[in-house]
Structure formats: C-alpha cells, structure tokens
C-alpha cells in the first residue's frame, strides 16, 4: 500500500491516466487524429468539393456552387479519357515490371546469395531512395537522350533507344518505385521456412515448380503491398512524363496545367486516379491479401 | 495546311492590310474593354518603408535593390513566381504591391481590377528612351490608360541545329507540317499561350481564316489553330516548359528545330545551335511593372518603377535575365551593353514589329471585332489539353 502511494506521488500523470481510460485514449490519439482529420481528410475534402464549384472564365476565381459541368468535361473530352486510360496502362505496366524484377531478385537474395552479397544487394536497392526524386528523373533523362549514355553504350550492337516516349516513362517510374516492391517481396521470401523448400524437393518438385507452387502463393500479400505503392505512386506522377515522356501526357500533367487556371477541373480530374486506387484496393481486399499484410 | 492558292490569298492579304492600316497597324488598337474604375495615384507622398514584389527570377537582386533601399528607405521583399498564372494568383491575395507581369498575365490583372492605372508624370524615367514598341500595347494600355511600365522583352524564336539543317529554315513550316524533314525531332512550348504561335502561322498561310491578331480568335479560328497543333503533335519530339529540359534536348540531339529564347541558345553554348525569325513572324513576351489596386505602399511602388527605368538599372535587369531592355539608352552606355542590346535586338524595332507580344485572350476581341465573341484564356486552356491527347 505504501508503495503504491509512493509511486502515485512520484508519477502523478501516469496514475491520473491509469484511472481515466478515456483521457488516456484521447491523449494517445489527439495528435495523429488532428493530423489525419484536420490536415489530411479536411484538405482532401476541400479539394474534392471544389470539383463541383464554378470558376470565372476570365479571372479564374473560384466560387461555391453545385454543378457537374467539370465532370461532364472529363467524361466527354476524348483527350481526358485517352489520358486516363494511358495513365492506367502506365501504372499497371510499372507494377508488372516491378514484380517481374523483384521476385527473382528476392529469391536470389534470400535463398542463394552469400550474406555479404545479400547485404550489398540490399544496399544497392535502397541506395536510390537516398537521392532526390527530381535528380533521378533528370538522370534518366540524360541516360536516354539521343547522344546519351544508353545510345553510346548500345551503339556497337546497332541498338538505339526509343527516344522520350511511354516506354521510357515506364522505365523511369520503375526505377523510382522499385525499392517499394523489392523490399517487401524480399522480406516475405526470407520469412518462408527452409523446411518448405525441403518438403517441396522431397516430393519431387523442381526449382520452378517450387517457386510457382510454394513461394508465389506465400508472397502474394507482399506483392500486393508493394503494388499499392508502385501503382498509386505511378498514377499520380507527372514529372517523369514531363522530363522523359516526350509528348506523353499523364493525368498529373493535366491536373498541373489546370491547377492555377481552373482549379475545379483539376479537382474533378483528381477523382479519376482516386477512383482507380479505390477499385484497386477493393480488388486486393477481395483476394484477402490486405488482411495478411 | 499547305500553301494553297497562295498568290490569290497574298493579294487579298495585301488588300486587307491596306484597309486595316487605316485603322491600326497591329490590329489591336481602338478596342474598348470594360475595366473596373480604379483611381490613379495623383501625387507623390512619403515613402512607406517597404515594397512587396512578385517577380520573375532575376528581376530583383541585391545588386540594385540595396541602392534603392538606401535612397528611399523602402525595404524590398521579393517573391519569385514561376509562371504567369502563379503571378496572377499571388497578386490576387492582396499581399503584394507590384508585379513584373508578362502580357499574358497583365491583361487578366487589369480587367480583373487587381491593378491600378498609372500616373506616368510621376515616373520621369518613363521617357522617350523607352523603346517605342514597348509603349501603348493592348496588354498594358487599356482604353488609353497606361497600366504598366515596361521592363524588357524577348521573342519566341525558331532555334535550329545548323549541322543538321545546313542553314536557317525560312519558315515555321519545319515545326508544323507533317512532311517536315525533322519530324520526331521538334520541340514546342508547353503552355496554352502557344496556341498563338499556331495562329501566327495560320495568319500567314491561311489568310481566308481572317485572323488579324493571334490573341483574338473566334471559335472557328481557335478550332483551326487546334487542328494545326494536333497535326504538330504527331511530329513533335518533346514539349518544353522547363528551360533546362529544352537546353538538354537541343544539346543531347533529341531536338533539331523548335521554339526557343535567345537566352536559352546562349546558355546551351554550342556554336551549331542558332536562332532565326522566320518569315511568318512570331510571338514574344513583353514584361512590365504593374501596381496592385489595393497597395499600401504606392509611393514606394512608383519610386521603384522610376528607379528601375533608369538606363543602368533597367540594363542590369535585362542583362541578368537575358532579354532586351526597355530603356534603350542603356545600349549606348558601354561596348558590353551595346553587344547585349545587339544580341537581343533591343534597338531593332523592325524585328519587334514582327513579334506579337503575349496577351491574355479575352472574350472582347482585341483586334476590334464586335460582331463575334472571341475565345477566352479558359477556352485556350481546355483546348490545349486536347492537343496533347
């Protein structure tokens, strides 16, 4: 008894909170909730509400109203539709390429490479994250210019790069977001118990069969987790298209072009990538992968 | 878009020019535009002690603001803006006193009532030395009232890689026509205002469209310009809005011909990259100081406009940014100044007569037509998105 009173005296805040669970909860969540609701959700809400507002065609001043004109523009203008489809294609392509690279790399790092090589590869994957985003985009631009590194390297083989176009945008975005796919996939493969590989081998499965029947099903949650990053980050990007896409236009390019002159159209158009991501998450949830993440 | 019936249309064009020259020489004067009535500053008073400027990068530097602050006691707070749209947005916040607006921002600010008419008598350095071509343009002089004090100007020129083109292209057709020998290696400016460049080309090659001013397009004329831009889109290599991207595109060999500024050619620093003004003429950017309608530091603003109109200061800004100074008295001040002026055609009014200064397209046709409604900048922005597909 005397011990308790001692500690009560010494830790007044703790004992106060111990007796009041609601205050405790409030204290715990106050800061993150202020952030999420006050800053994140509220500003997102303001942005989306703007999509229904009017804009003065001359002064670009926005005034509250309710009209669906901006949405009509987005769903009837062929350029907007084509750009949405193109952006979706680019995001899916980036995700696919990331998976195709990440799975063999992850298997190699987790199961084959020596610890020293494994560490070296882990550093190599994460190292680009240390460089600025714009630096990486410009670097890709310099690599793929007509007289750039790629064409110089490939010249003896008679190969020339495609010039700034959609394939280079996909490659640039893959370069930017690859760590977000490679790290979860590698971690997931490392966590597969070695006995499963032994069991698979005992039952007569060769290497590819083991990867297909044992490894892939176990790392699907990691692939989904990685793809949420690669897919949604690619959907929102526009600087890669600006610097390495030639005349390629993405959703972000149109939003950026409208943000000062016609904020309601920009807001309405930003619903498109949000819709894509929501659909993607719902599909991912159906597969049950989100619960296992 | 080929030059069909050029002789006939040429004759028509000449006739049209003769007729229109009776009224105005650039198809832009005598336009009545409705603007909010804002009083102008009558006489100079005490300096308020500070001046908040929205400016292009390189316009406001300690090299010349320090002396201004020492002379007047007005502390200068610059805020650099990246685009004309950003300048307009910043000026509308009411937190700034003065802006270095290009013509595509100026008219929007004037008609929106965001800036006030100027009392030129309070700016003695706004004198005969200011280049004639920079005075009285529709983007900063509305209904006879001046709103802007010129800073400098530059042209959107055709830059070409001489080792590949073997000489200057005579016409802009190398960037517009699908049979261009440089298809796939063409660059164009990435902004809605670039529609005016298509209009300039159409003015010359399709006179039956009746375009008299590239910033006064009715719906048919805008549709024709957009069709031309869509045609260009099939042969374009890259659009540029970032100067660094444009320079690396030319230097790296991705681009052979395309829109450029004299200063970008200088920065690229390659002898085989040259610029030319093709036969059709071109567009350009003319920058002026505009004073906020709600400024609390109006005396400092006037002092600043007068100070920066001095030959030395105006020249320093022009050299730092890479453009033709508004005050051509600067050119005679030294051999270096003269070289700068020659590079940027500062004293060459014949050159700048072939340049259409960026002007915000508004519903009132700035070429004086009253029977039709012209397309606004909003229409241009929407149309621009369709160009790139």
Q: Which residues constitute the domain of residue B188?
A: 155-283+359-388
The answer to whether the CB atoms of A258 and B385 lie below 8 A apart is yes
Is A243 an interface residue toward B (CB < 8 Å)?
yes
Low-confidence stretches of chain A (pLDDT beneath 50): 1-2, 4, 7
HSE value, Cβ hemisphere, 13 Å, CA-based, for A126: 8
Do residue B160 and residue B231 come from a single domain? yes
Show residues of chain B in contact with A57, CB under 8 Å: 363, 376-379
Q: A12-19 and A2-10 are packed helices; what angle lies between their axes, rounded to 10 degrees?
A: 110
Q: Is B226 helix (H, G, I), strand (E, B) or coil?
A: helix
B214 and B263, same domain (yes or no): yes
The two three-digit tokens of residue B69, written as one number: 């602050």
Q: Minimal Cα–Cα distance from A284 to chain B, Å?
A: 31
Angle between helices A216-236 and A251-258 (to 10 degrees): 30
| Structure tokens, A110 | 């987790």
Assigned domain for B6 exists: no
Min Cα–Cα distance to chain A from B111, Å: 8
Taking alpha carbons only, the member of B324, B323, B341 closest to residue B332 is B341
CA-nearest residue of chain B to A248?
B388
Residues A61, B92: C-beta atoms closer than 8 Å? yes
Report the C-alpha gap between B138 and B126 in whole angstroms: 18
Q: Which residue of B has its CA nearest to A258?
A: B381
Q: Is residue B85 part of a domain?
A: yes
Q: Is residue B73 part of a domain?
A: yes
pLDDT given at position B330 = 94
Please tell me whether residues B366 and B249 are part of one structural domain.
Answer: yes
Question: How close A55 comes to chain B (CA, Å)?
Answer: 10
pLDDT for B65 equals: 94
- How distant is the Cα of B363 from the closest Cα of chain A, in angstroms? 8
Residues B268 and B197 reside in one and the same domain: yes
Per-residue model confidence as pLDDT tens digits over B91-145: 988 999 999 999 888 988 898 889 999 998 999 888 888 888 888 887 788 888 8
CA–CA min distance B359, chain A (Å): 13
- Token duo for residue B145: 């009232």
What is the structure's pLDDT at B19? 37
Which pLDDT tens digit goes with each residue over B141-163?
Answer: 888 889 999 999 999 999 999 99
- Inter-chain Cβ pairs, chain A and chain B, closer than 8 A: 103
- Portion 74-93 of A in contact with B at CB < 8 A: 77-80, 82-83
Residues of chain A neighbouring B112 (CB-CB closer than 8 A) = 58-59, 61
Residue B37, in any domain of the structure: no
Question: Which of A56, A58, A263 would best serve as a mutation to test chain B binding (most B beta carbons within 10 A)?
Answer: A58
What are the residues facing A19 on neighbouring strands? none
How confident is the model at residue B24, as a pLDDT? 38
**Residue B282 neighbours by CB under 8 Å, 6+ apart:** B155, B156, B157, B158, B172, B197, B200, B354, B355, B356
pLDDT at B9: 44
Q: What is the DSSP string of chain A?
A: -HHHHHHHHH-HHHHHHHH-HHHHHHHHHHHHHIIIIIIIIHHHHHHHHHTTSEE-TTT--EE-----HHHHHHHH-HHHHHHHHHHHHHHHHHHHHHHHHHHHHHHIIIIIS-HHHHHHHHHHHHGGGGS-HHHHHHHHHHHTSTTSHHHHHHGGGT-----SSHHHHHHHHHHHHHHHHHHHHHHHHHTS-HHHHHHHHHTT--HHHHIIIIIHHHHHHHHHHHHHHHHHHHHH--HHHHHHSTT---HHHHHHHHTTT-HHHHHHHHHHHHHHHHHHHHHHHHTTTTTT-
Which chain B residue has its CA at the smallest distance from A137's CA? Answer: B245
Tell me: do B209 and B119 sit in the same domain: no
Summarised one tens digit per residue, pLDDT across range B363-379 is 888 888 888 999 988 88
A53 touches chain B (CB under 8 A): no
Shared domain check, B297 and B193: no
- What number of residues does chain B have? 389
Domains in chain A, CATH or no CATH each: 2-50 (no CATH), 77-286 (1.10.3720.10)
Same domain? B376 vs B279: yes
Answer whether residue B29 is part of any domain.
Answer: no
**The pLDDT of residue B225:** 96
- Considering only CB atoms, which chain B residues are within 8 Å of A260? 83, 85-86, 88-89
Residue B3 has pLDDT above 70, yes or no: no
Nearest-Cα distance to chain A for B250, in Å, is 10
CB nearest B108 (choices: A59, A243, A253): A59
Looking only at the bridges linking them, the beta strands covering B148-155 and B157-161 are unpaired
pLDDT at A63: 83
Give chain B positions within 8 Å (CB) of A168. Answer: none
Are residues B240 and B320 both part of a single domain? no
3-state DSSP call for residue B366?
Answer: coil
- Token couple for A259: 């943000």
Q: What is the pLDDT of residues A258-286, one digit of tens each?
A: 887 788 889 999 999 999 999 998 888 88
CB pair distance less than 8 Å for B108 and A249: no
Radius of gyration of chain B (CA): 21
Is residue B14 in a domain? no
B31 in any annotated domain: no
Look at residue B389 in the predicted model and tell me its pLDDT. 75
Task: State mean pLDDT over B190-219.
Answer: 94
Domain tally, chain B: 2
Answer yes or no: are the C-beta atoms of B74 and B68 closer than 8 Å: yes
Across the interface, whether the CB atoms of B238 and A257 are under 8 A apart is answered no
Same domain, B141 and B206: no
Q: Are A252 and A266 in contact (CB under 8 A)?
A: no
Q: Are B356 and B285 in contact (CB under 8 A)?
A: no
Q: For A149, which residue in chain B has the nearest alpha carbon?
A: B252
User: CB distance A142–B248 less than 8 Å?
Assistant: yes
Confidence tier at B6 by pLDDT (50, 70, 90): very low
What is the spatial distance between Cα B200 and Cα B357, in angstroms, rounded to a whole number? 11
Residues B277 and B378 in one domain: yes
Q: Given pLDDT bands bounded at 50, 70 and 90, which one contains residue B10?
A: very low
Query: If interface means Cβ-Cβ distance under 8 Å, which residues of chain B face chain A?
Result: 83, 85-86, 88-89, 92, 108, 111-112, 184, 190, 192, 233, 236-239, 241-242, 244-245, 248-249, 252-254, 362-363, 376-379, 381-382, 384-389
pLDDT in tens, B178-190: 999 999 999 999 8
> DSSP letter string over B141-160?
EETTEE-EEEEEEEE-EEEE
- Does one domain contain both B182 and B99? no
B22: confidence class by pLDDT, cuts 50, 70, 90: very low
Beta-carbon separation of A254 and B111 below 8 A? no
In this structure, is residue B39 part of a structural domain? no
Residues B180 and B239 in one domain: yes
Cβ pair A77:B238 closer than 8 A: no
B85, B252, B387 ranked by CB distance to A147: nearest: B252
| Cα–Cα distance, A239 to B276 (Å, whole number) | 30
Which CATH number do you get for residue B105?
3.40.190.10
Which residues from A are below 8 Å from B184, CB to CB?
163
The pLDDT of residue B229 is: 96
Question: What are the distances in angstroms from CA B35 to CA A85, B104, B150, B380?
Answer: 43, 16, 21, 22
Backbone Cα Rg of chain A: 25
Is A2 in CB contact (< 8 Å) with chain B?
A: no
Report the interhelical angle of A78-107 vs A251-258 (nearest 10°). Answer: 130
Q: pLDDT tens digit string along B308-357?
A: 999 999 999 999 888 999 999 999 999 999 999 999 999 999 999 999 99
Q: Which residue of B has its CA nearest to A244?
A: B238
Instruction: Note the pLDDT of residue B21.
Output: 36
Under a CB-based contact definition with an 8 Å cutoff, are residues B149 and B118 in contact? yes
- Lowest mean pLDDT of A105-109, B3-7, B22-26, name the range: B22-26
Confidence band, pLDDT 50/70/90 cuts, at residue B260: very high
């Amino acid at each position: 008894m005397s011990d308790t009173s001692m500690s009560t005296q010494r830790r007044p805040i703790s004992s106060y909170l111990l007796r009041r669970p609601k205050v405790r909860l409030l204290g715990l969540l106050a800061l993150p909730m202020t952030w999420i609701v006050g800053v994140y959700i509220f500003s997102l809400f303001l942005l989306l509400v703007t999509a229904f507002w009017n804009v003065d065609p001359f002064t670009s001043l926005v005034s509250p109203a309710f009209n669906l004109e901006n949405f009509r523009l987005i769903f009837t203008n062929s350029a907007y539709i084509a750009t949405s489809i193109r952006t979706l294609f680019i995001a899916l392509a980036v995700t696919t390429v990331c998976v195709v690279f990440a799975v063999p790399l992850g298997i190699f790092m987790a199961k084959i490479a020596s610890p020293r090589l494994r560490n070296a590869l882990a550093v190599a994957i994460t190292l680009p994250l240390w460089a600025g985003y714009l630096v990486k985009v410009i670097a890709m631009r310099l690599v793929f210019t007509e007289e750039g590194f790629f064409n110089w390297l490939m010249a003896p083989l008679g190969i020339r790069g495609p010039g700034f176009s959609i394939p280079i945008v996909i490659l640039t975005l893959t370069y930017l977001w690859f760590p977000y796919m490679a790290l979860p996939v590698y971690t997931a493969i490392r966590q597969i118990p070695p006995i499963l590989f032994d069991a698979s081998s005992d039952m007569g499965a060769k290497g590819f069969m083991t990867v297909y029947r044992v490894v892939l099903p176990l790392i699907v949650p990691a692939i989904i987790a990685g793809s949420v990053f690669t897919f949604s980050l690619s959907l929102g990007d526009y600087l890669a298209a600006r610097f390495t896409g030639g005349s390629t236009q993405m959703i972000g390019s149109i939003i950026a072009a409208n943000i000062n002159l016609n904020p309601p159209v920009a807001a309405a158009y930003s619903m498109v990538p949000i819709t894509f991501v929501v659909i993607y998450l719902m599909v991912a949830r159906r597969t049950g992968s989100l619960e296992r993440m | 878009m080929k030059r069909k019936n050029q002789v006939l249309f040429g004759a028509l064009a000449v006739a049209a020019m003769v007729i229109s020259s009776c009224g105005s020489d650039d198809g832009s004067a005598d336009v009545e535009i409705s603007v909010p009535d804002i009083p102008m500053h009558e006489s100079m008073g005490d300096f308020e002690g500070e001046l908040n400027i929205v400016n292009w990068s390189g316009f406001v530097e300690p090299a010349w603001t320090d002396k201004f602050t020492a002379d007047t006691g007005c502390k200068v707070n610059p805020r650099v803006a990246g685009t004309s749209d950003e300048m307009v947005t910043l000026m509308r916040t009411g937190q700034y006193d003065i802006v270095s607006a290009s013509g595509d921002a100026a008219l929007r600010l004037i008609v929106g009532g965001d800036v006030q008419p100027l009392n030129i008598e309070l700016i003695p350095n706004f004198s005969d030395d200011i280049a004639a071509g920079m005075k009285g343009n529709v983007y900063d002089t509305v209904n006879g009232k001046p709103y802007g004090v010129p800073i400098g100007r530059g042209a959107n020129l055709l830059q070409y890689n001489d080792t590949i083109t073997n000489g200057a292209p005579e016409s802009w057709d190398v960037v517009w026509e699908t049979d261009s020998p440089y298809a796939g290696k063409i660059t164009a400016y990435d902004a809605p205002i670039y529609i005016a460049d298509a209009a300039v080309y159409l003015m010359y090659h399709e006179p039956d469209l009746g375009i008299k001013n590239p910033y006064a397009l009715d719906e048919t004329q805008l549709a024709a310009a957009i069709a031309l831009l869509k045609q260009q889109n099939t042969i374009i290599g890259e659009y540029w809005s970032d100067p660094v991207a444009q320079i690396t595109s030319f230097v790296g060999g991705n681009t052979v011909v395309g829109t450029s500024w004299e200063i970008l050619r200088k920065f690229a620093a390659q002898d085989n990259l040259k610029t030319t003004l093709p036969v059709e003429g071109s567009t350009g950017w003319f920058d002026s100081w505009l004073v906020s309608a709600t400024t609390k530091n109006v005396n400092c603003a006037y002092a600043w406009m007068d100070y920066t109109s001095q030959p030395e200061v105006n020249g320093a800004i022009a050299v730092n940014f890479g453009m033709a100074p508004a005050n051509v008295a600067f050119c005679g001040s030294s051999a270096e100044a003269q070289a700068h002026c020659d590079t940027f055609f500062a004293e060459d009014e014949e050159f700048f007569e072939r340049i259409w200064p960026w002007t915000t397209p508004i519903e009132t046709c700035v070429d004086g037509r009253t029977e039709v409604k012209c397309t606004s900048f909003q229409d241009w922005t929407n149309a621009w998105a369709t160009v790139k597909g």
